[in-house]
Amino acid sequence: MRGPKASLTGLAALCMALGGCVFFPGSGPTTQEVMSPQTEPTEYEIVDVDARTIHAMSAWRSPSLARSFGGARLAPETRVNVGDVVSVSIWEASTGGLFGGRSTSGTDTGSGSETLPAQTVDREGRIKVPYVGDISVVGKRPSEIAKTIEEGLKGKAIEPQVLVTLPEQTSASVVVVGDLTGAGRVNLNVKGDRLLEVIAQAGGIKGPPHETFVRVTRGKRSQTMQLSAILAQPDENVFMRPGDTVYVFRRPQTFTALGAVKGAGEMAIDRDDFTVAEAMGVSGGLIDSLADPSGIFIFRYEQAAVVRAFNPESPHLNGNTLVPVIYRLNLKDPSGYFVARAFPIRVGDIVYVANAPGAEFNKFLRMAQTISTMIRSNAVAVTD
């Protein structure tokens, strides 16, 4: 009686396994479930990746400092502000005029010129010039200030000529902050300083360029851009203006690999132009016994301009700036490997490899084999 009881127990266990085979855990939806969802309409765009889709990627636009702040080819003009030190030199056509050729030390130079003591622009934005009075200088170029002084001296001095210089322009500075630089205040040169020059003067960066981001704030406007993109596009290396703030920070670049891959999890994007082929490589490749090579999916919130490029009639546009898109690559088609080398992976993407249609049945067979082995072992044990 022990033998039949053991067999009956094993048979019951096997029946339970048969009845529960539909509950075997899966790694996610199958290719069919993704491509033919049961709910209509779908909340996302489904796209089979081909050469046309790759071409549409050219519509993708990264954030741009040049578009936000203007890609001026010339440095901004030097203008005076509160706190700057202004030096005024005055020449007259001959000696014996208002300034009498006397230097600041009181010595007669016979030169018909005089340099006034340097002055700091006060909080009201003014400086004082003898025989002219208070002059508003904030926001003006040195040449404009000189012309104002000349106009004020006409009829008083002998054919006056004025030169205005800025020995110290403390207002012409940029604040650089962040844990990746030697943060501080950087004074701008009269010739003009670009963004990378300012960062270099603040001590440079400590992280890799593809993980380093730069946020420039000018007034109420702010824009963030990846440092590697700035290095690759010289026009993005914009001129700095007085009062700008530069924040340098590190943001790890990652994507997530899921499904029938050997190394699922969050993976680093460690280079520019990272593609699906490289994503498959860093995640260990497909699991041969489980993966469906025709079901390589990339889940992404895509820019509306890209979606419009391959599907102008997409119902998911509707004024949205970002559209949920599922891209599908078919690696059963040999041409799919060329597509995989060209299709970019972006930060935050989810790369999902679906299970093959027979993967769940194979799981059941392995489970049934395990149970059968257990039954035989228990039968032998009971007989003994």
pLDDT at 296 (0 to 100): 94
- Average pLDDT on 236-249 reads 92
In a domain, 376, yes or no: no
User: Residue 324: what pLDDT?
Assistant: 92
pLDDT tens digit string along 41-100? 678 889 999 888 888 888 888 889 999 988 777 777 778 888 889 999 999 887 777 776
Predicted confidence band at 378 (pLDDT cuts at 50, 70, 90)?
A: low
**Helix locations, the chain, DSSP H:** 2-19, 31-35, 51-56, 65-69, 142-153, 195-201, 227-232, 276-282, 304-310, 335-342, 359-383
Domain assignment present for 266: yes
Separation of first and last alpha carbons in the chain: 13
Q: Say if residues 95 and 101 touch (Cβ distance below 8 Å).
A: yes
Same domain? For 185 and 306 the reply is no
Q: Each residue of 87-124: pLDDT tens digit?
A: 999 998 877 777 765 544 455 555 577 888 999 999 99
What are phi and psi for residue 35, nearest 5 degrees? -75, -25
pLDDT for the residue 358: 59
Q: What is the pLDDT of residue 14?
A: 47
Q: What average pLDDT does the structure give for the chain?
A: 82
In this structure, is residue 323 part of a structural domain?
yes
Same domain, 351 and 267: yes
The answer on pLDDT for 2 being more than 70 is no
d(CA 115, CA 91): 9
Same domain membership, residue 306 and residue 269: yes
**Mean pLDDT, residues 265-286 taken together:** 92
Q: Is 205 part of a structural domain of the chain?
A: yes
Among 147, 168, 189, the domain boundary falls at 168
Q: Which of 139, 168, 197 corresponds to the end of one domain?
A: 168
Which of 223, 250, 277 is at the close of a domain?
A: 250
pLDDT score recorded for residue 32: 84
Whether 381 maps to a domain, the answer reads no
In a domain, 25, yes or no: no
Report how far residue 41's alpha carbon sits from residue 43's, in angstroms, rounded to the nearest whole number: 7
Q: How confident is the model at residue 367 (pLDDT cuts 50, 70, 90)?
A: low
Range of the domain at 192: 66-75+172-250
Number of domains composing the chain:
3
22 band by pLDDT with thresholds 50, 70 and 90: very low
Within a domain: 301: yes
Is 92 found in the same domain as 160? Answer: yes
Provide the CATH number for the domain around residue 202.
Answer: 3.10.560.10
- Regarding whether 221 and 97 lie in a shared domain, the answer is no
Query: Domain check: are 164 and 134 in the same one?
Result: yes
* Residue 94 falls inside a structural domain: yes
Residues 154 and 206 in one domain: no
Residues 270-279: what's their mean pLDDT?
90
**What is the per-residue pLDDT across 295-340, written as a single tens digit (0 to 9) for each?**
999 999 999 999 998 888 888 888 778 999 999 999 999 999 999 9
Asked if residue 196 has pLDDT above 90, the reply is: yes
Weakest-pLDDT range from 207-216, 252-261, 274-283, 361-370:
361-370
**Same domain membership, residue 70 and residue 184:** yes
Same domain, yes or no, for 209 and 71?
yes
Are 128 and 156 in the same domain?
yes
Q: Identify the band that residue 374 occupies on the pLDDT scale cut at 50, 70 and 90.
A: low
Q: Check pLDDT > 90 for residue 155.
A: no
Any idea what DSSP says for residue 239?
A: B
Which pLDDT value is given to residue 12? 46
CB-based burial label for 305 (10 Å; 0-12, 13-18, 19+): middle
The verdict on 70 and 193 lying in the same domain is: yes
The pLDDT, as a whole number, for residue 380 is 52
Same domain for 178 and 70: yes
Q: What is the pLDDT of residue 156?
A: 86
Tell how strand 133-136 and strand 322-329 pair up: unpaired
Say if CB 267 and CB 347 are below 8 A apart: no
Average pLDDT for 346-368: 73
